[in-house]
Amino acid sequence: MTTTLRDCPAPAKLNLFLHITGRRPDGYHQLQTVFQLIDWGDVLHFNRRDDGAIHRVNDIPNVPEDTDLTVRAARMLQAHTGTHFGADIEIDKRLPMGGGIGGGSSDAATTLLALNHLWDTRVSREDLQKIALKLGADVPFFIFGRNAFAGGVGEELEAVELPARHFLVIVPNAQVPTVEIFSDPELTRDTEVVTMTDFLAEHGSKAGWPDTYGRNDMQTVAAKKYAEVAKVLDWLDIIAASRMTGSGACVFAAFPSQAAALEAQAKVPSDWKSVVTASLQRHPLYSFAS
């Protein structure tokens, strides 16, 4: 049996649109979105332990080991399966925190998928998604492992075929706490419910590109609170239709080719970090669950 898994990708996601359609009695927001996987992400490494201990072996600034979603995910899977195995987890952190691209959630999902394989626990994808929801609303999507039209709090997922594209993603000089945006009284919480058919009918699927469908309801609030986010949105919108992803801060635009995205990136001011990345159709560890 394999005892080591190295270079396990934890890809980021973009929200092609994000509508807040209501608020549940428990305080969670109901939303609709389309999640797009991209090939930019963190990279995780796992060593199986036979003593049952679970440790993160490298430091992540401002993220204590016991609160790290990867450690929590590993312990949840361990408790769910009763396995006697443990793991040492190393995270090569490449995604910015507070960027709205699902970095921590993706790390947790990669941990569940990788350890399900490494420990040979054979938990189904559906059950892994149930475990994942306890860690955060975005985590089940990464376990689902395909681009998806999502509802509920983000856990109701339906696969959607999206055209291959390249994206320019700009990282403003700001971190946006999700809870701050969700708790803002000015946040729109009554956007009309749509269907995946609406989404595909207006712009097509593989034949078209939904770059202007809907909006991100969180964008106005984030841009008002964080001038850097507003500045990036204004700048990028001159070049291509731009949108903030998630609760922010990252801003993206879609391009039909890598060359077109790189041409736009060459114009990005030097004080902003930017990445050109390609769309993915499936999570790189998709085969680790069934």
pLDDT for res 210: 46
Hey, what amino acid is at 97? M
Catalytic residues: 13, 138
pLDDT surpasses 90 at 86: yes
pLDDT for res 27: 78
Percent above pLDDT 90 for the chain: 88
Structure tokens at 87: 């793991």
What residues contact residue 287 under an 8 Å CB cut-off, 6+ apart? none
Give the strand pairing for 86-92 and 156-159.
unpaired
Q: What confidence category does residue 168 fall into, taking pLDDT thresholds of 50, 70 and 90?
A: very high
pLDDT for res 206: 43
CATH of 1-290, one of 3.40.50.300, 3.30.310.50, 1.10.760.10, 3.30.230.10: 3.30.230.10
Q: Where are the domains of the chain?
A: 1-290
pLDDT for res 203: 59
Mean pLDDT, all residues of the chain: 94
Mean pLDDT of 202-210: 50
Nearest C-alpha neighbor of 268 from the set 170, 199, 173, 195: 170
pLDDT per position as a tens digit, 96-114 = 999 999 999 999 999 999 9
pLDDT for res 196: 87
pLDDT per position as a tens digit, 39-72 = 999 999 999 999 999 999 999 999 999 999 999 9
Burial of 38 (0-12, 13-18, 19+ CB in 10 A): buried
End-to-end CA distance of the chain: 19
Mean pLDDT of 87-99: 96
Are 48 and 84 spatial neighbours (Cβ–Cβ below 8 Å)?
no
pLDDT surpasses 70 at 128: yes
pTM of the model: 0.95
Mean pLDDT of 249-271: 96
pLDDT surpasses 90 at 119: yes
pLDDT surpasses 60 at 166: yes
Alpha carbon distance 138, 156 (integer Å):
10
- Count the Cβ atoms, other than its own, within 10 Å of residue 176: 25
pLDDT for res 13: 98
pLDDT for res 257: 93
Percent above pLDDT 70 for the chain: 96
**Poorest-pLDDT segment among 13-17, 189-193, 196-200:** 196-200
Question: DSSP secondary structure string, 73-106?
Answer: HHHHHHHHHT-S-EEEEEEE--SPTTSSS-HHHH
pLDDT for res 208: 44
pLDDT per position as a tens digit, 209-254 = 446 689 999 999 999 999 999 999 999 999 999 999 999 999 999 9
**Helical packing angle, 125-133 and 103-118, nearest 10°:** 140
